[in-house]
Amino acid sequence: MYEVISEFLARPAPFSISTTEQLWTDPHIATEMLRFHLDETSDLASRRPGVIDAFVDWLDRRHPLSGLTVADLGCGPGLYASRYAQRGAKVTGLDFSANSLAYARKAADSAELSIDYRRADYLKDELPSGQGLVTMIYGDFCAMAPEARKLILAKVKAMLRPDGIFVFDVFSTGMFDELSEETIFAPRLMNGFWAAGDYVGFKTTHLYSNEAIGLDRYLIAAPGRTFQVYNWMQYYTPASITEEVLAGGYSSVEIVDFATGGPWPGGASAFAVIARP
Ligand SMILES: C[S@@+](CC[C@H](N)C(=O)[O-])C[C@H]1O[C@@H](n2cnc3c(N)ncnc32)[C@H](O)[C@@H]1O
């Protein structure tokens, strides 16, 4: 017991351990996650519909979607992909969550939208080329280790037409400044999110201030099974993300407010990045 708890509370080196796939593909967690994606009153897994609509509105105004070839990386249940398709884009949605994709496919069928949903790991699998727009939304970029971010920048660049754009969002250092280190535990932590039946869930938050990195680390102790989940997050300033994207071989970077596409006002909110190859 002492060894398990002490190891859990220890501070790992940033991004030294990854459990991303487990977070998104464990059958119980995937079902709970889908519930949160679709909960229009929660921002836990996806943004609320009004913000998604506003994002797609300015994107369409600036970079008309009709007839455009678009790929959405980490499309989840298709909240963005379906909106792009409604506006006439030819959309491919990629995700490694079979559960989210099953929902996305059903929703597309009932809305009579033709969307190519594919189960893929965007870090490992081949990605479609010739895209006019590639999106990756809700901080997925921030959750990756530096080498994985470098890889995805290169893979997306190879997906884009010369006039295409990569649009993604990142969490700001203003958001990092609002975090605090704490450790909590509770029976069925987060109302049964982590496992079916009884369990005790522990959560500890580590902040790496010099690097603007946060870690929410979970230890889930269920009868007969104990597992951990590491939720890393790199926070950015406009300057730090611009430097990283330019170092990844892109020719220009624009920072805009996620919901309006206008100037980002700063503070404790995410912002969108428009990168050109
Ligand atoms: C925070 S959710 C956002 C979903 C969607 N973009 C939205 O905002 O509604 C992240 C999504 O990325 C997917 N994902 C994470 N890493 C992935 C990877 N390496 N390959 C494919 N999908 C991945 C997860 O399964 C999940 O559906």
Backbone phi, psi, residue 79, to 5°: -65, -35
Assigned token pair, 132: 């006019």
Q: How far is the CA of 92 from the centre of ligand 1 (A)?
A: 14
Contact indicator for 194, 218 with CB cutoff of 8 Å: yes
* Residue 209 falls inside a structural domain: no
Strand order in the sheet with 183-187: 183-187, 200-208, 213-222, 225-234
Measured in residues, the chain has a length of 277
Q: Whose CA is nearest to atom 9 of ligand 1?
A: 46
pLDDT in tens, 129-181: 999 999 999 999 999 999 999 999 999 999 999 999 999 999 999 999 999 99
> What is the atom index within ligand 1 of the atom nearest the CA of 135?
6
Q: How far is the CA of 1 from the centre of ligand 1 (A)?
A: 34
Surface-to-core class of residue 213, CB atoms within 10 Å of its CB (0-12 exposed, 13-18 middle, 19+ buried): middle
> What is the atom index within ligand 1 of the atom nearest the CA of 25?
25
pLDDT exceeds cutoff 80 at 25: no
The H or E element that residue 275 is part of is strand 271-276
* Residue 178 falls inside a structural domain: no
Q: How far is the CA of 174 from the centre of ligand 1 (A)?
A: 23
Q: Whose CA is nearest to atom 13 of ligand 1?
A: 74
Q: Report if pTM > 0.75.
A: yes
* Residue 197 falls inside a structural domain: no
* Residue 22 falls inside a structural domain: no
Q: How confident is the model at residue 186 (pLDDT cuts 50, 70, 90)?
A: very high
Identity at 34, one-letter amino acid code? L
Q: What percent of the chain has pLDDT over 90?
A: 93
* Residue 20 falls inside a structural domain: no
> What is the atom index within ligand 1 of the atom nearest the CA of 74?
12
> What is the atom index within ligand 1 of the atom nearest the CA of 136?
6
Please give the Cα distance from 203 to 217 (Å, whole number): 6
Number of domains in the chain: 1
CATH of the domain at 248: 3.40.50.150
pLDDT in tens, 198-237: 999 999 999 999 999 999 999 999 999 999 999 999 999 9
* Residue 55 falls inside a structural domain: yes
Contacts of 8 (CB under 8 A, 6+ apart): 202, 204, 217, 219, 228
Q: Which domain holds residue 128?
A: 31-173+235-276
Q: How far is the CA of 260 from the centre of ligand 1 (A)?
A: 23
- pLDDT top residue among 45 and 78: 78
Q: Whose CA is nearest to atom 10 of ligand 1?
A: 74
Please give the Cα distance from 93 to 119 (Å, whole number): 8
Q: What value does the mean pLDDT take over residues 27-36?
A: 92
Taking only Cα atoms into account, the Rg of the chain, rounded to an integer number of angstroms, comes to 19
* Residue 57 falls inside a structural domain: yes
Please give the Cα distance from 32 to 48 (Å, whole number): 17
* Residue 212 falls inside a structural domain: no
Q: How far is the CA of 4 from the centre of ligand 1 (A)?
A: 30
Contact indicator for 99, 31 with CB cutoff of 8 Å: yes
Give the DSSP per-residue string, 238-273. HHHHHHHHHHTT-SEEEEEETTTSS----SSS-EEE
Residues with CB under 6 A from ligand 1: 20, 24, 37, 45-46, 74-76, 79, 94-97, 100, 121-123, 137-138, 140
